[in-house]
């Protein structure tokens, strides 16, 4: 089997790039003849089409990337299979996608979103995102690299470190976590809440708002926003430095960081919805807060990035849920339980590690991908 993988290649630190790169490496490790190429590089993609002659072209992205990862390979006689995430609403390309032999998505929730918005359920198969379980591993507390991370973040050895990682903290449920921390009125060990975010204009504006909330809640001295560029090499040590990974995300089609935290042996606080229903196990690998609110829209404004003219208004026949909010009381309860019980943190972390190794190791995912392709497309 020959597979061409279209993604953000060479990979940036982002989630879609990591998803594609782990698939590419996993395919190579299980013996598949595969190549990776940037999904936007028209000339290089065509070069691979001509000499490599792949049996299938796997394109990583979301529905808005259909022109690059579906239409382009089809126009050159290739068999295109997208491996998509969702962003809350699939606004375009239903006709194109419904003509494909197979569509891969990252979770059952993503599948539900595509079916809800007009994609034939019989075409869709779920393949989770992989995790490199040889890099994301449990670390000893006295590991020099872990100690260096905690020192750089201003975390004392006697303090608990609660961590959220994302492009911004708010989208990962950071504001809900802060509100939960501020509600705690029983004895807990000293703690610091670290939000590791990515430097970009959107994040800078959100940081200002989030820091204002921390001040209003009276916990600003215990909250740190670490805004810097980091590589994927650093992420395992960042996760390894925390005691609790808290990310009850507002929108999550899979939850890569939650899975990676589990691989590092960390207990997770998530939300009982979306992709985390596939990746986390309630009361075993994670505490999943209930859904307190669903953000519902009956209209969106789209543009060329979605295949529409600028400023196009789309009215839904039925309002769509596009965002979630986790129950703050549930987050508070989970935090208190984990902060006051080191043995529970270790047990949940161990369970999380075992689950990730069994189900989400990048080689396991690559083999599942191959099995699905063989079954659905008859490729040997």
Q: Are 222 and 350 members of one domain?
A: yes
Task: Give the count of beta carbons closer than 10 Å to the beta carbon of residue 166.
Answer: 20
Q: Per the domain annotation, does 301 fall within a domain?
A: no
Q: Are 116 and 151 members of one domain?
A: no
Is 0.85 topped by the overall pTM? yes
Q: Are 112 and 219 members of one domain?
A: no
Task: Give the count of beta carbons closer than 10 Å to the beta carbon of residue 190.
Answer: 11
For the residues 6-31, what does the mean pLDDT come to?
Answer: 96
- For position 313, what pLDDT does the model report? 82
For the residues 348-372, what does the mean pLDDT come to?
Answer: 98
Q: Per the domain annotation, does 18 fall within a domain?
A: yes
CA distances from 85 to 220, 326, 343, 345, 370 (A): 35, 21, 35, 30, 19
Q: pLDDT tens digit string along 217-258?
A: 999 999 999 998 999 999 999 999 999 999 999 999 999 999
Kindly tell me if the per-residue pLDDT of 305 is higher than 80: no
Kindly tell me if the per-residue pLDDT of 13 is higher than 90: no
Q: Are 34 and 155 members of one domain?
A: no
Q: Are 213 and 336 members of one domain?
A: yes
Q: Are 63 and 205 members of one domain?
A: no
pLDDT band at 299 (very low <50, low <70, confident <90, very high): confident
Q: Per the domain annotation, does 322 fall within a domain?
A: no
Q: Are 207 and 256 members of one domain?
A: yes
Q: Are 118 and 255 members of one domain?
A: no
The whole-angstrom separation of Cα 340 and Cα 353 is 21
For the residues 98-122, what does the mean pLDDT come to?
Answer: 96
- For position 47, what pLDDT does the model report? 98
For the residues 274-302, what does the mean pLDDT come to?
Answer: 94
Q: Are 126 and 195 members of one domain?
A: no
For the residues 326-353, what does the mean pLDDT come to?
Answer: 98
Q: Are 221 and 248 members of one domain?
A: yes
Termini Cα distance of the chain: 6
Range with lowest mean pLDDT among 159-173, 187-201, 296-310: 296-310
Inter-residue contact 345 to 5 (CB < 8 Å): no
For the residues 191-210, what does the mean pLDDT come to?
Answer: 91
DSSP for residue 131: B
For the residues 58-71, what does the mean pLDDT come to?
Answer: 96
What percent of the chain stands above pLDDT 90? 87
- For position 303, what pLDDT does the model report? 79
- For position 90, what pLDDT does the model report? 85
Range with lowest mean pLDDT among 2-6, 132-136, 206-210: 206-210
What percent of the chain stands above pLDDT 70? 100
Range with lowest mean pLDDT among 105-114, 126-135, 304-313, 334-343: 304-313
Q: Are 203 and 347 members of one domain?
A: yes
- For position 362, what pLDDT does the model report? 98
- For position 370, what pLDDT does the model report? 98
Q: Per the domain annotation, does 311 fall within a domain?
A: no
Kindly tell me if the per-residue pLDDT of 12 is higher than 80: yes
The residues near 249 (Cβ < 8 Å, ≥ 6 apart) are: 166, 171, 172, 173, 255, 270, 271, 274, 276, 324
User: Of 105, 129, 135, 128, which is closest to residue 117 (Cα–Cα)?
Assistant: 105
Inter-residue contact 68 to 39 (CB < 8 Å): yes
For the residues 20-35, what does the mean pLDDT come to?
Answer: 98
- For position 26, what pLDDT does the model report? 98
pLDDT band at 336 (very low <50, low <70, confident <90, very high): very high
Q: Per the domain annotation, does 274 fall within a domain?
A: yes
Q: Per the domain annotation, does 245 fall within a domain?
A: yes
Per the structure, the complete domain to which residue 26 belongs is given by 2-130+361-375
- For position 273, what pLDDT does the model report? 97
- For position 57, what pLDDT does the model report? 98
pLDDT band at 262 (very low <50, low <70, confident <90, very high): very high
Instruction: Characterize the bridge pairing of strands 312-326 and 291-302.
Output: antiparallel
Kindly tell me if the per-residue pLDDT of 304 is higher than 90: no
Q: Per the domain annotation, does 35 fall within a domain?
A: yes
User: Of 247, 244, 320, 183, which is closest to residue 15 (Cα–Cα)?
Assistant: 247
Q: Per the domain annotation, does 307 fall within a domain?
A: no
CATH number at residue 166: 3.40.50.2000
Q: pLDDT tens digit string along 202-227?
A: 888 888 999 999 999 999 999 999 99
The whole-chain average pLDDT of the chain stands at 95
User: How many domains is the chain partitioned into structurally?
Assistant: 2
DSSP for residue 232: T
Q: Are 65 and 9 members of one domain?
A: yes
For the residues 261-272, what does the mean pLDDT come to?
Answer: 98
The whole-angstrom separation of Cα 136 and Cα 59 is 25
């Amino acid at each position: 089997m020959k597979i061409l993988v279209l993604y953000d290649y060479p990979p940036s630190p982002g989630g879609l790039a990591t998803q594609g790169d782990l698939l590419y490496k996993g395919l190579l490790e299980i013996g598949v003849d595969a190549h990776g190429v940037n999904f936007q590089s028209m000339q290089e993609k065509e070069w691979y089409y001509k000499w490599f002659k792949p049996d299938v072209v796997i394109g990583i992205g979301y529905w808005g990337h259909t022109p690059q990862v579906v239409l382009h390979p089809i126009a050159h006689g290739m068999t295109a299979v997208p491996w998509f995430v969702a962003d809350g609403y699939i606004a375009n390309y239903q006709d194109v996608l419904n003509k494909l032999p197979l569509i891969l998505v990252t979770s059952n929730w993503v599948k539900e979103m595509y079916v809800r918005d007009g994609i034939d359920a019989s075409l869709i198969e779920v393949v989770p995102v992989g995790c490199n379980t040889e890099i994301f591993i449990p670390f000893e507390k006295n590991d020099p690299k872990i100690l260096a991370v905690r020192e750089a973040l201003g975390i004392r050895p006697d303090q608990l470190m609660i961590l959220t990682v994302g492009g911004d903290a708010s989208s990962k449920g950071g504001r809900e976590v802060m509100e939960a921390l501020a509600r705690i009125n029983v004895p807990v060990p000293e703690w610091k809440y670290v939000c590791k975010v990515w430097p970009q204009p959107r994040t800078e504006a959100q940081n200002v708002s989030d820091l204002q909330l921390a001040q209003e809640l009276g916990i600003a001295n215990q909250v740190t926003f670490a805004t810097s560029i980091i590589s994927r090499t650093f992420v395992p040590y960042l996760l390894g430095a925390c005691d609790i990974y808290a990310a009850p995300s507002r929108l999550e089609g899979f939850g890569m960081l939650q899975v990676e935290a589990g691989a590092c042996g960390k207990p997770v606080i998530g939300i009982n919805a979306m992709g985390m229903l596939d990746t986390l196990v309630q009361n075993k690998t994670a505490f999943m807060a209930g859904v307190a609110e669903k953000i519902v829209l009956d209209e969106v404004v789209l543009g060329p990035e979605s295949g529409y003219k600028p400023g196009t208004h789309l009215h839904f026949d039925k309002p769509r849920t596009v965002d979630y909010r986790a129950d703050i009381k549930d987050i508070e309860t989970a935090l208190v339980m984990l902060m006051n019980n080191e043995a529970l943190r270790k047990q949940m972390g161990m369970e999380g590690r075992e689950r990730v190794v069994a189900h989400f190791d990048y080689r396991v995912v690559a083999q599942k991908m191959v099995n699905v392709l063989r079954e659905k497309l008859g490729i040997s």
